[in-house]
Amino acid sequence: MLELDLNKLILHYAQCNKSEGKSPRTVSWYTEALGVFTKFLYGAGRKLELSEVSISSVREFFIAQQVKVLSPFTVQGRVRALKAFSSWLFREGYIEQNILSNVKLPKVPIKIIEPLMASEIDRLVSFQNQLTGLGSRDVAILITLLDTGLRISELANLPLADAHVEEGYLKVVGKGNKERIVPLGGLSQRILFRYLFHFRPEPYSPTDNYLFLTLDGSHLTSNAIRLILTRWGKKAGVPRLHAHLCRHTFATPLNKIGVNY
């Protein structure tokens, strides 16, 4: 067993993660992190075999990553991926014990993320012309994210059929393909109605029938939404706006925002 090809085991692990319903982004993240580890082993002149998944090699890898002056969050993430891989190897019977179970994760600084202020949200919304297809859509995306706390991928992949705006809720498929009901506030309902009634284009094809679309009716992807928010924030004078900040601002009382929507 200890002579098994490490790259093939990583490929097997990726396929298992896919079959368990993990998102493509999560699967890619694990695979890339483990790929960095195999490159480290190769550069050190070691064999790319299961035997190299050990406490000593992981500690050496950890030190090598720190020497590169990488972000502590990046280093911790890669060690976390190795620990998860070790747990999987144990569950699948490739190793007799979970070798890395007692390896502690590197410490990372604790950062307090300040949510968006009402004045910043006002500035963002005021920057858009909501009587256009682009402005109406983008404001609806922002307010829905702030009101519901959805992940970008959950919002981007939400079919129109699961957006029960009139009833005041969204049916969302989250991590692990688990469905949940997410309530909508009155403000997000009103803004979504404006987008849906007046500005949402017809889907380019039946497979593009998502809540939010590009101006030509195609699927608006997660990456596209991230880019929209980043560019919008810079232009509107709120450069710290990014996708995940909306989740941190989830609890903001939107009814206290001063802009007349």
Alpha helical stretches, state H, the chain: 6-19, 24-43, 55-67, 72-91, 118-127, 133-148, 152-156, 186-194, 222-235, 243-248
179-183 and 169-173 strand pairing: antiparallel
- Assign domain 6-91 one CATH number from 2.60.40, 1.10.10, 1.10.150, 3.30.70: 1.10.150
Of residues 47 and 160, the one with the higher pLDDT is: 160
* Class for the domain spanning 118-256: mainly alpha
Which range, of 173-177, 179-183, 235-239, 254-258, averages the lowest pLDDT?
254-258
Question: What torsion, rounded to 10 degrees, do the Cα atoms 72, 77, 83, 88 define?
Answer: 180
Contact predicate 132/198, CB 8 Å: no
Largest CA distance in the chain: 66
pLDDT band at 245 (very low <50, low <70, confident <90, very high): confident
Give the 3-state secondary structure of residue 145: helix
DSSP 3-state assignment of 208?
helix
Domain positions in the chain are 6-91, 118-256
pTM: 0.69
pLDDT of residue 259: 46
Predicted confidence band of residue 126 (pLDDT cuts 50, 70, 90) = very high
| Alpha-carbon distance values, 203 to 4, 19, 44, 206, 227 (Å) | 48, 30, 53, 7, 21
